[in-house]
Each structure stands twice: as C-alpha cells, then as structure tokens.
Amino acid sequence: MTTLDTLAAGPGPGGPPSARPSIPLRRIVTTEVRKLFDTRSGFWLVAGVGLLALLASAAVAALASDAGMTYRAFTTAVDYPLTLVLPVVAILSVTSEWSQRSGLTTFTLVPRRGRVVAAKAVACVGVAVAAVPLALGAAALGNLAGSSLAGIAPVWDVTATSMLTIVGSNVLGVLVGFVLGVLLRSSVGAVVAYFGYALVLPALAVVLAGSQAWFRTVQPWVDLRYAQGTLVDGTLTAAQWEHLAASAAVWLLAPLVVGLFAVVRAEVK
C-alpha cells in the first residue's frame, strides 16, 4: 500500500494525529541533551571546557605565589573558560535548527516550537549546572597539587554559598548565549554578538563609568556583566539582587520575548 493509499484509508488504530498524545517534554529534553554532544563542534566544545579547566589549574599552580595559591584563585581561573565556552554551546544548540537545516524535521515531529525552545533551555541550563561541580573538582585537585608542590597547607576559602553563586553566574552566562541564539538564529551572528557582549562591552562600560557620572549610577541596573560579577564575588545584598533582576530583564527577558515571537513566525526551510 502506498503512502497515498494509507492516507486515503483514514487514521489508524491510534486515532487522528490531533487525538494522539504529544511527545513528553522529558523526552524532548533528553534528545536536546544528546544533540549537544552528537556533533563534532558540540563534542569538542564541551570537551574543551574540561581541558581548559585543567590547563587553568596548572597555570595557577605554576605561576601563583604562595600567598596567592588559594582555592578561590583556582576556582576563578577555572571559571573563566566556563563563562566563554558554555554560552557558545547554548548558541549552537538553538541555532542548529536553522544553520544545519534540521528545523524542518524537528518542527514536524514537534509542531509546537515553544516546547522545543523550552527543552533546549532546560538542556543548556542542565549542562551548565553539571559542568560547575566538575570544574570545582578540577580546581580542588589543582589546589592540592599546587600546595603540595609549594610545600604549604592548602587554603580552602570558598564557601558553599560562593559555590552556589558561581553556579548562578554560569547559568546566567549560558542564558545570555541561549537568548542570543533565539533572537538571531544564526550561529556566526550569535557567537560574534556574544563575544562582543562578553569582551567588548565590559571594556566600554569601564570607560563610560570612569568618565560619566550618570552611567556610574545607572550601570548596576542595566549592565548584566557588572551585576553578574557580584555573584562570583560572594554573598549579594538586597540591592545587588535588585540590580541583577533589573539587568537580567533588560538583557534576557525582553530579547527572549522578541526572539520567541520571531521563532514562532519564522519560515523553516
């Protein structure tokens, strides 16, 4: 029986497509997690995070002074590659449906595009959360090895609260990459935009804050990188939480709404 004959015969025992249960969100999330590692670019980006974490720990152990060889120094060094690489992983996860022309298949299987985007968000945040304990473990090994080579007692100056704020900081970074991917839907454009946000805008903000008094007052409310830095520094005050929420609304919530509107209406080829 041909495909046309099957369609002409009407719905099968499962009933019409509209009556069949949709694919569970849990299954879509696991699929998106697997897709993060299936491609060579995604695999080597994630593997590169671990390699860079080990190299950062080795650099601190080799170059830091005895007084500067603390667990915080190692965690700061290890956290840097996480903040650069993990958002790129999130960008590629979102833009793959357009850049690799897999969107037609994905959105045919799951017509409600919002569910796919939500699954990608959960997958990216999950990878970010899982990567932090591994990075902290690499920093701990570096602290032990460096202190042993220097003949000093290891200094453990990172509290459990600080570890949680590091996780929060990395999740925010991943969400920035995710939002840029949803907004631009282009791998190259989103990656360039992210590195501009991560490397160029902070330098411009420092210059502007040093020369303009009005911007120094406004900066905590609109500069997400500035507010994100307070997470890594330690416990936040009530005012700093307000700054973080306001800047996140500017850089995450508003662009995400625009991007989701475009994703729902964009033509998939």
Q: pLDDT of the chain along its 269 residues, tens only?
A: 443 343 344 444 444 445 556 788 888 899 888 888 777 777 777 777 778 888 888 888 888 888 888 898 888 888 888 888 899 989 988 888 877 667 667 777 888 888 889 999 999 999 889 888 888 888 898 889 888 888 888 889 888 888 888 888 899 999 999 999 999 988 899 999 999 998 899 899 999 988 888 998 999 899 998 888 777 766 678 888 899 999 999 999 999 999 999 888 877 66
- Which amino acid makes up residue 186? S
Rg (CA), the chain: 22
Identify the residue whose tokens are 């625009």.
Answer: 258
- How is the chain split into domains, by residue range? 22-265
What pTM did the predictor assign?
0.84
By C-alpha distance, which of 33, 27, 47 is closest to 93? Answer: 33
Torsion angles phi and psi, residue 129, rounded to 5: -65, -40
155 HSE (CA, 13 A, CB side): 15
- Label residue 52 left, alpha or beta by phi (over 0 means left) and psi (-120 to 50 means alpha): alpha
The pLDDT of residue 68 is 81
Judge whether 109 and 35 are in contact, CB under 8 Å.
no
Judge whether 126 and 120 are in contact, CB under 8 Å.
no
The pLDDT of residue 246 is 92
Q: CB-based contacts of 47: which residues, under 8 Å, 6+ apart?
A: none
Other Cβ atoms less than 10 A from the Cβ of 185: the count is 19
